[in-house]
Amino acid sequence: MLEIRSLSMRYPGGTTALSELSLSVGEGVLGLLGPNGAGKSTLMSILATVTRPTAGTFLWEGVDGVEHPLAVRRVLGYLPQDFGVYDKLTAREFLLYLGRLKGLSGAALKSRVDHLLQLVNLHGAAGRRLGGFSGGMRQRVGIAQALLGDPKLLIVDEPTVGLDPEERVRFRNLLSEIAHGRVVILSTHIVSDVEAVAGTIAVLRAGRLVCRATPEELLSKAAGRVFAVVVPPDRLAEVQRRLAVSSLSRRSDGVHVRFVGDASALAGAEAGSASPVEPTLEDAYLLTNLPGAA
């Protein structure tokens, strides 16, 4: 349904945000992962028809989205990373206003707004002015507005920032429920959010597509490349310089270090003590960022 063809974006001054990125996206949730500056937000801004690329294009159901942005906007729901609100409007007034801009009206619009306020757990605060909302509450308003027009293409950039754990789970469940019959693109730094909802994962680095795979495929590739070792506290700094550490915990017998890559990078007394462990998706993601990773 969505075909990305050789998208490139170069900003004045020579900064390259995207470099000939191509990707096909079908029904369901595509999770975008990558470090800061990888190009995720730029890609989503282009697909939302906010930014025009330097080169390349994308097709939505066969229509060129760069040359014909209205065809995309009619079916689009978009939550950008920096979402603003009108502080003097209530949550309900704000959603009603945006709904009218999307072409909704009358009883259907009011019903849709009430449904979405319930869905994002803001029905009890619908009459409060947005200026008094917390960051997490504003983010939930942003999620609601992205769903206003029952979009076929839903693009959400860091949607769970500011949400408490319960609300994050609620949003994950919501994405899973609405993904049928839609294309959903989710960008986040929280690997567990992607793991919970994405059927396909695309990893970006320095504006390029590093890999595209299912979670199961990434985990399979990581098998045999994740290790655990116990090191003395005074050796921890050196070990962290040598290894790609995914987690660590301090215990009575030393620091338990989990790392990805090659166990031969260990030196000293720990060299023969590393043991392989079952990889997690976060481990698999870290492996894609190692030098020479495919």
Q: Which pLDDT belongs to residue 293?
A: 57
Domain 2-216 has CATH 2.40.50.140: no
Rounded to 5°, the CA angle 270-222-256 comes to 30
CA distances from 249 to 49, 245, 264, 285 (A): 45, 11, 22, 20
Q: What pLDDT score does 223 carry?
A: 95
Q: What is the pLDDT along the chain (294 residues), one digit of tens a residue?
A: 899 999 999 998 888 999 999 999 999 999 999 988 999 999 999 999 999 999 999 999 999 999 999 999 999 999 998 888 999 999 999 999 999 999 999 999 999 999 999 999 999 999 999 999 998 899 999 999 999 989 999 999 988 888 888 888 888 888 888 899 999 999 988 898 999 999 999 999 999 999 999 999 999 999 999 999 999 999 899 889 888 999 999 999 999 999 999 888 776 667 678 899 999 999 999 999 886 655
Q: Please give the pLDDT value at position 292.
A: 60
Q: Domain limits of the chain?
A: 2-216, 224-278
**Structure confidence at residue 254 (pLDDT):** 94
The pLDDT of residue 268 is 65
Question: How many CA atoms, within 13 angstroms, populate the side-chain half-sphere of residue 119?
Answer: 21
Q: What integer pLDDT is reported at residue 257 of this predicted model?
A: 95
- What dihedral do alpha carbons 191, 261, 20, 25 form, nearest 10°? -40
d(CA 163, CA 139): 7
The rounded distance, in Å, linking the Cα atoms of 268 and 264 is 11
